[in-house]
Chain A
Amino acid sequence: MIPLLLIHLIKIACVIGVMLGIVAYTVLAERKICAWMQDRIGPNRVGPFGLLQPVADGLKFIFKEDVLPHHVNKVYFTLAPMIAMIPALITIAVVPWGSQLVIPSVSHDPIPGVIANLNVGILFVFAISSLGVYGIVLAGWSSNSKYPFLGGIRSSAQMISYEVCLGLSVVPVFMQVGSLNLMKVVEYQAQHTWLGFTQPLSCFIFLVSAFAETNRLPFDLPEAEQELVGGYHTEYSSMKFAMFFLGEYAAMFMASALMATLFFGGWSLPFAPFNAPAQTLTVGLIHIGIFLAKVCGFLFFFIWVRWTIPRFRYDQLMTLGWKIFIPLTLLNILISGVVLAVITK
């Protein structure tokens, strides 16, 4: 028997480790896939098929000179990349990676496939990820130069606007499931249908808003190389830059995980034995595999869209958010409410 605390610590270590590993390889995948789309080969020098490229990148980041421009506000300048990176790592705690792991030799009760089975799971995610905007705002402000500042301003406006969309778009999901707990959401989908099919509008708006929240193309206005040099991380170098970079990809991972969990059945597949909590260790592990496969699918989608669609103009972005998505989400909530009331009557 292993004490509960130790099990938790092991779980946290595994989740963070796997997540950062996938994040590192997403960077490689991004470069590879964009190369393929442009009829190129992409990085293939470090290791077989370039598979060790993330290691080389990491080493490069560590050994680069960490430039601290003299005109920056040092405390906030150093703080900003940390704040930008942490939210994605914290919020993954409430996302169920699998149903449960039954290991009798380790613990009596099955180990749930989630670090924190929080009842207000999705609110927790929104709350913490809404703090991520401080990283970008502070980076823009403390850099004390114009392009980062513009980037910071843009991103804060963008992220606040789309947080509203994001929050409203998932309301019908929870109206249907009747719980804010992500574990319950997945179990509901395992028993019934995937919510992506019953709530397609929610799903679509959530997906698009997730692009805006993670500052990915077509909504990467805070970085917008062509007009803002590099946006909020113009003045950053070395490991500090790497943290922004990792933060962006970790946020992408988180968005993919949420998409998979909320709309595409999380760890479940719509047939036995994958549509019920696992009773054996093997099935439990396969559940985790299914979840990760779905996440990787969405990560691919993120990359695919990035290398296809050009950037929106800033006013188009805001129009889309405030004038189209928010009314649409409200309408969606109304319709879902009526339909649910009729069905349950």
Chain B
Amino acid sequence: MYDILFWFFSIAMLVCGLLVIANRNPVASALFLVLLFVFLAGLFVLLEAFFIAAIQVLVYAGAIMVLFLFVIMLLDIKASERRKFRALGVVGGIAVAVAFVWELVIILTRPLKPLATGGDELSGGLEQVVKPLFANYMLPFEVTALLLLVAMIGVVLLSKRELK
């Protein structure tokens, strides 16, 4: 059962990912990305990381992608034309792909350590995520929050064209 679900989610994710970049209609692309996030959440559920799964769907699929869709619809982006391949793009793309595969090979050939699972059954990974965040990595966490805040204020400033 577990294996079947794993393969199902993985393959579905790959198919969705392909469709995201293969689709010429931006709305359809965005929707397949949403579907991809949902399947990804499914993988997290298989790992019993319910917390991350829920946050994944809530934040990415439920909020960020809605805003994406929003922008796509408001700007009324038409289906993109079939473009000619540019040499630089092709070379760059291949380079990135090769680098990525290389990295994957390095990682996968290493012996895998089993993940430290713990806590009570079905804790949903809440503690495993939150404990380190607020205990060991408090400072980086706060700094990140501050960074986001600065970015947010920047956005507000930029979007308010005339400053009083």
Q: List residues of A whose CB falls within 8 A of some B CB.
A: 76, 117-120, 123-124, 126-128, 130-131, 133-134, 137-138, 141, 149, 152-153, 156-157, 159-160, 163, 180
Residues of B within 8 A of A163 (CB): 62-63
Which residue of the partner chain, among B54, B66, B122, contacts A123 with CB atoms under 8 Å?
A: B54
Q: Which residue of A lies closest to B48 (CB)?
A: A119
Interface residues in B, total, Cβ within 8 A: 26
- Would you call B73 an interface residue if the criterion is a C-beta within 8 Å of the partner chain's C-beta atoms? yes
| Contact status B51-A120, CB under 8 Å | yes
Q: Nearest Cβ distance between residue B121 and chain A, in whole angstroms? A: 9
Of the residues B58, B62, B67, B122, contact of A119 by C-beta under 8 Å: B122
SS class, residues of chain B in contact with chain A: helix
**Further contacts, 18 of them, CB under 8 A, given A126-B58, A131-B61, A134-B66:** A76-B31, A119-B50, A119-B124, A120-B50, A120-B51, A120-B54, A123-B58, A124-B50, A128-B57, A134-B31, A134-B34, A134-B69, A137-B66, A152-B73, A153-B70, A153-B73, A157-B70, A160-B66
The reply to whether the CB of B20 lies closer than 8 angstroms to some CB of chain A is no
- A231 vs B41: C-alpha distance when bound (angstroms): 32
B91 at the interface (CB under 8 A from A): no
A119 and B27 contact, CB distance less than 8 A: no
Does B126 count as interface, using CB distance less than 8 angstroms? Answer: yes
Residue in A closest to B56 when the chains form the complex, CB atoms = A127
| B148 in the interface (beta carbon within 8 A) | no
Q: A119-B122, A141-B73, A153-B70 are in contact. Are A130 and B50 (CB under 8 A)?
A: no
B62 touches A131 (CB 8 A): yes
A126 to B62, CA, bound (A): 9
Within 8 A of A (CB), among B49-103: 50-51, 53-58, 61-63, 66-67, 69-70, 73-74
CB distance from A152 to the nearest CB of B (A): 8
Would you call A127 and B54 a contact (CB within 8 A)? yes
* Chain B residues close to A by CB (< 8 Å): 27, 31, 34, 38, 41, 50-51, 53-58, 61-63, 66-67, 69-70, 73-74, 122-124, 126
Which chain A residues lie closer than 8 Å to B50 at the CB level? Answer: 118-120, 123-124
Which of B54, B55, B63 gathers most chain A CB within 10 Å?
A: B54
A130 in contact with B73 given A124-B50, A141-B27 (CB within 8 Å)? no
Let me know if B70 and A137 touch, CB within 8 A.
Answer: yes
Asked if A153 and B54 make an inter-chain contact with CB atoms under 8 angstroms apart, the answer reads no
Residue among B27, B34, B62 facing the most chain A CB atoms (10 A cut-off) = B62
A-B contact pairs, 20 of them (CB 8 A): A118-B122, A119-B126, A120-B50, A120-B124, A123-B54, A124-B54, A127-B57, A127-B61, A130-B61, A131-B34, A131-B61, A134-B69, A137-B70, A138-B31, A156-B66, A156-B69, A156-B70, A157-B70, A160-B63, A163-B63
